[in-house]
Structures are given as C-alpha cells and as structure tokens.
Amino acid sequence: MLKFSANLGMMFGEEEDPIKRMELAKTSGFGAVEYLFVYDMSLETLKSESSRLGLGWSVINIALGEGIKNGPLVAATPGKEESWKENVAAAIEYCDVLRPATAVIPAFSPPESVSREDAMEVFKPSLIYAAEEFHKIGIKLSIEPLNPKIRANALLTTSAETLDLIEELGHSNLGIEFDVFHLYATEGNIDANIKKCLPNVGNIQIADIPDRNEPGTGEVDFESFFKVLEDCNYQNWVAAEYIPSSNTLDSLNWMKNYLSN
C-alpha cells in the first residue's frame, strides 16, 4: 500500500502558520511532510512538532542560491564552490535531525552568464561532494530534473539524462527525484518511465497537468500510475506537491483509498 506525504509550502494554505499545517496534514491522513524551503523555520520547532504528531519527512531541498537562499544554482556556478558547501552544510544540519527519506537538489538554472557546458563542469563535482557529505549521515541525495517551460534553462529536463548522469558519476549515494508534474510534461508515458527509474528513486512528487492541481483534475492517469507503484512494491513516499483547486481538504478525494496509511 502506498504512503503519502504533503508539501506544506503548497497545501493547507488556509492555515497561515506553516508549522500548524503539520497537524492538518496528519489529521488528513498524511504520514509525512515536506516544505519548499525549510531554512527560515526553526529546526527545533520542526523537530518537536513532527515528533509530537508522529510525522516523517519525505524530502528536504538543498538551498539553490548563494547564502542559503533561493536563486541561480550555485552548485553549477564557477567560483561559487564555497557557497555550495555552505548550502550543503545547512541541509546536513536539518537532515541529520529530521531524517528525510532523501535530500534533493533540483537541477535548476545557473546564472544567465554561465553556459550549460561550463555549468555542468561545476555541477558534476558539486554532486559528488554533496553525495559524499550526505552519505556520512546515511541519507541519499536525489537529483530532480525540471520542465524547462516551468524552470527556464534547467540543467536536466528528463529522467533519461538524469539517470545517464548518475551512471556517469558512479556514486552509490545519488538517486533521482521523480516529479510527475515536471516529467509528464517533458516525457509523457510516466508508467513506463517510473519502472526504469524506480531502482534509483529517492522520492516521488505528484501534481496533475496542466495547472498543477490535485490528481484527477488534468491529463495524468494517476490510477494507473499508482497501480504501477504498488505492483513494483514501491516503499518510499509519494509526496502531494500540488496547488489545491479549491480548499485543501476538498482536494483530497483522490487519496481516500489510502487513508489507512
């Protein structure tokens, strides 16, 4: 049976306090949570609340930009190696306490002045460095390919090129974040693609196409996708990372068959 996580940066926005959203997720049947960005929240508060509620963590994203902020991808920017190490260290601190299933580095865009070729030359050793650091605390690092129509100039846009990069780097602590919203748009045929990716998948995120709303509001056949995951005995989290088309609680009908988890 599948188990689901809620992305609280996008869901339960009816509650202004992001920490209080954790209890709403728990009472709605989710077994874990994730946020788009955790570094502006108290680690001790996140730890105590998730412990109180018995919630796991699906992912923690490594900050993309310089100074542990959002921005162009320092992991792929020449001369910003120390900034990348600072971002990795911050993520290690949160991950070592909250113990997510995986840490994630989205294959975001580098600064406009950096060519893709130069960016990849920096990105590869950056991934190896982070994979080694996360290996020390027993947490996998997952690379997330992105739809370039949503994230212009993304370094990786398909599961195939992400798996090729993982094979090239040859580090056992590297995996893939399989985001259905991005990969359905760039590849389609997610049932076949997830089968190819599963040995390397650290986490799955879901949202329907085209408006990034809950399953059942767009083009993706989630009933078929979930069956593939069950048939393959997928054990990690499936994270709901969508914008509710109405109120969050009303958007959860797709999950009713899994509430026992």
44 is an active site residue: no
Per-residue pLDDT tens digits for 153-189: 899 999 999 999 999 999 999 999 999 999 999 998 9
Environment class of residue 247 by beta-carbon count within 10 Å: exposed (0-12), middle (13-18) or buried (19+)? exposed
230 is an active site residue: no
Of the residues 34, 49, 214, 241, only one is catalytic, namely: 241
Q: What is the pLDDT of residue 261?
A: 43
CA gap 52, 27 in Å, rounded: 13
**Residue 199 pLDDT > 50:** yes
Question: Are the CB atoms for 92 and 124 separated by under 8 Å?
Answer: no
Architecture of domain 3-258: Alpha-Beta Barrel (3.20)
Cite the beta strand spans of the chain per DSSP E. Answer: 3-7, 32-34, 56-57, 59-61, 102-106, 140-144, 174-179, 201-206, 237-240
Whole-prediction pTM: 0.94
Of the residues 34, 49, 133, 144, only one is catalytic, namely: 144
Environment class of residue 23 by beta-carbon count within 10 Å: exposed (0-12), middle (13-18) or buried (19+)? middle
Q: What is the pLDDT of residue 259?
A: 65
For the chain, percent of residues with pLDDT exceeding 90: 93
